[in-house]
């Protein structure tokens, strides 16, 4: 006799195309048992089961109160599954590969499907369903929470939140205003460290996340910002009437399709749907923490977490203070259609700056000045670069278009390219006159698949160096590539070396042709994703 399939196995089985899965439960108690059992399944099966049941739930007849309760139970499982899905796509180089793309699409679809369950309760709520009178604030806050989670997902996937997401969030908050429950306190087990949870605080949480711009943050920074906003979002309230202020104002159009923006002054005439937030309190909180961190305070005692370093907190708080408390800078006006980019790490930068590939084996072993003088007699041999053709294929120049200034460039490319781009990645940029180094400070994927980048460019002119450690312990260490950034009017000279190569006091010596030069590494200026920029002192 064939073994009968269990309800969970049936739910995890993908339905036939065009069919609605059968519901695995008949009431909230059955839903609770079923949803708890999903943790026993592998992630792909658990995701299929949850999505199938959300689809079946949308077509089933439940009272609004029961639907809200089941959605609450499903929210816990969605949060768990999203943690697992995020491991596959969060912060990955753009464009995503197929598996990463699928995980990001699944995370968005899952939260959207859950949002639909909360949205199905809104019409009965407006019509005065007596079963919903005591849970109006909670249902609306949960819907706003799901919208906030979608802002997080888009940031982790390097996508801009679409207009429809902001429209839905604005609609939820407008309904909270209509039902007079914007400030009513609720509890939320998925926000354990949050303070003063309500519809307005969760709404402002989403708005401030959008202002922070997840495409310009690392995955770690997005996680910290989301956590901190659980404590700080209540410091901003979206007022319907303008108030006197000496600082910037956060503007939100409930009839619009964008998130919040920061302006220096409020408009003279405001539409009925415009709301005004004043970031003065959150600015005081952020600036106070920056001041105390600079004085040596511990992040934990400032409620920034035990798992965040001082350097991480200072960098992120500085970014947030700029994004939340100051109007956005005007877009760069200069147009530069012929800027070319190359990436691929330090070896690629070495090749594109110096015109030669770097061979770590270096069979010629250029260790001393006298040795290099001898090797000049082998010019025909040393001028030959056996790996150049391969390097041209691996690290080609790509043409990008956009705005370009001395220290920053905002570029976009619609055609498929050779490279995958990620946050804090070392890049080489070339125009008609010079070759420069920089790094990626923002990467976003558009709805049509186009990639947009913002680059920060180093001021100093780069020069290639082959280096070897002077330490006795590293005598057998092969040479390593490095790039020397020349002194600029506002910057001292620095070295670009490989990731995790910096140690304070370490001495590196050049092994290129010419007089030997020694560099004592003194300070880590910047740690990128695939490079380190370090300050140094010359050693006689």
CA 431 vs CA 337, 341, 404, 436, 458: distances in Å:
9, 9, 10, 9, 14
pLDDT value of residue 365: 43
- For residue 5, the model assigns a pLDDT of 47
Which strands sit side by side in the sheet containing 249-253, from one edge to the other? 261-263, 249-253, 274-277
Pairing of strands 339-342, 249-253: unpaired
pLDDT, tens digit only, all 540 positions of the chain: 444 445 444 555 555 445 667 899 999 999 999 999 998 899 999 999 999 999 999 999 899 999 999 999 999 999 999 999 999 999 999 999 999 999 999 999 999 999 999 999 999 999 999 999 999 999 999 999 999 999 999 999 999 999 999 999 999 999 999 999 999 999 999 998 888 999 999 999 999 999 999 999 999 999 999 999 999 999 999 999 988 877 899 999 999 999 999 998 888 777 889 999 999 999 999 999 999 999 999 999 999 999 999 999 999 999 999 999 999 877 655 556 679 999 999 999 999 999 999 976 643 444 444 444 444 444 444 567 888 999 999 999 999 999 988 899 999 999 889 999 999 999 999 988 899 999 999 999 998 889 999 999 999 999 999 998 876 554 567 889 999 999 988 889 999 999 999 999 999 998 887 788 999 999 999 999 999 999 999 987
CA–CA separation, 383 vs 376, rounded Å? 10
Asked if 403 contacts 334 with a C-beta cutoff of 8 angstroms, the reply is: yes
Structure token pair of residue 352: 């594109």
Copy the structure tokens of residue 163: 């207009």
- Confidence (pLDDT) at 522: 96
Residue 410 tokens read as 């905002």
Coil, strand or helix: which one is 362?
Answer: coil
Q: Measure the CA–CA gap between 530 and 528, rounded to whole angstroms.
A: 6
Whether the bond between 95 and the residue before it is cis, its omega within 30 degrees of 0, is: yes
Closest CA to 79 of 30, 114, 44, 122: 114
Q: Which residues contact 240 (CB under 8 A, 6 or more apart)?
A: 177, 275, 276
| Contact status, residue 243 vs residue 276, Cβ threshold 8 Å | yes
User: What per-residue confidence (pLDDT) applies to 384?
Assistant: 74
């Amino acid at each position: 006799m064939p073994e009968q399939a269990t309800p969970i196995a049936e739910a995890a089985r993908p339905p036939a195309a065009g069919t609605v899965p059968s519901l695995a439960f008949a009431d909230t108690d059955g839903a609770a048992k079923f949803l708890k059992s999903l943790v026993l399944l592998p992630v792909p099966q658990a995701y299929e089961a949850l999505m199938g049941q959300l689809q079946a739930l949308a077509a089933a007849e439940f009272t609004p109160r029961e639907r809200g309760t089941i959605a609450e139970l499903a929210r816990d499982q969605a949060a768990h599954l999203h943690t697992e899905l995020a491991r596959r796509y969060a912060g990955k180089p753009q464009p995503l590969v197929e598996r990463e793309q699928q995980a990001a699409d699944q995370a968005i679809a899952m939260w959207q499907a859950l949002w639909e369950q909360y949205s199905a309760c809104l019409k009965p709520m407006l019509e005065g369903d007596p079963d919903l009178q005591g849970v109006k604030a909670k249902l609306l806050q949960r819907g706003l929470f799901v919208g906030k989670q979608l802002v997080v997902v888009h940031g982790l996937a390097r996508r801009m939140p679409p207009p429809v997401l902001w429209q839905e969030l604005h609609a939820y908050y407008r309904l909270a205003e209509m039902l007079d429950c914007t400030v009513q306190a609720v509890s939320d087990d998925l926000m354990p460290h949050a303070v003063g949870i309500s519809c307005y605080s969760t709404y402002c949480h989403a708005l401030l996340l959008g202002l922070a711009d997840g495409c310009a943050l690392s995955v770690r920074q997005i996680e910290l910002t989301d956590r901190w906003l659980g404590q700080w979002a209540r410091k901003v309230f979206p007022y319907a009437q303008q108030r006197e202020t000496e600082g910037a104002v956060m503007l939100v159009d409930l009839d619009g399709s964008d998130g919040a923006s920061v302006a220096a002054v409020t408009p003279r005439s405001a539409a009925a749907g415009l709301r005004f937030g004043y970031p003065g309190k959150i600015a005081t909180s952020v600036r106070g923490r920056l001041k105390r961190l600079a004085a040596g305070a511990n992040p934990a005692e400032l409620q920034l977490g035990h798992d965040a370093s001082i350097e991480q907190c200072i960098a992120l708080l500085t970014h947030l203070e700029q994004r939340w408390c100051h109007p956005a800078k005007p877009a760069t006006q200069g147009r530069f259609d012929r800027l070319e980019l190359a990436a691929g790490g330090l070896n690629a930068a070495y090749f594109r700056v110096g015109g030669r590939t770097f061979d770590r084996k270096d069979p010629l072993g250029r260790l001393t000045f006298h040795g290099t003088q001898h090797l000049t007699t082998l010019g025909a041999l040393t001028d030959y670069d056996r790996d150049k053709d391969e390097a041209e294929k691996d690290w080609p120049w790509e043409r990008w278009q956009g705005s370009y200034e001395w220290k920053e460039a905002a570029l976009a490319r619609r055609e498929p390219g050779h490279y995958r781009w990620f946050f804090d990645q070392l890049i080489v940029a070339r125009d008609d006159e010079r070759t420069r180094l920089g790094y990626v400070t923002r990467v976003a994927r558009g709805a049509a698949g186009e990639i947009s980048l913002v680059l920060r460019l180093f001021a100093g002119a780069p020069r290639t160096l082959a280096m070897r450690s002077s330490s006795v312990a590293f005598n057998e260490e092969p040479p390593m590539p490095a790039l020397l950034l020349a002194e600029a009017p506002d910057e001292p000279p620095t070295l670009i070396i490989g990731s995790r190569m910096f140690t304070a006091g370490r001495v590196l010596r050049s092994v290129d042709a010419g007089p030997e030069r020694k560099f004592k590494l003194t300070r880590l200026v910047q740690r990128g994703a695939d490079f380190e920029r370090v300050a140094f002192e010359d050693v006689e």
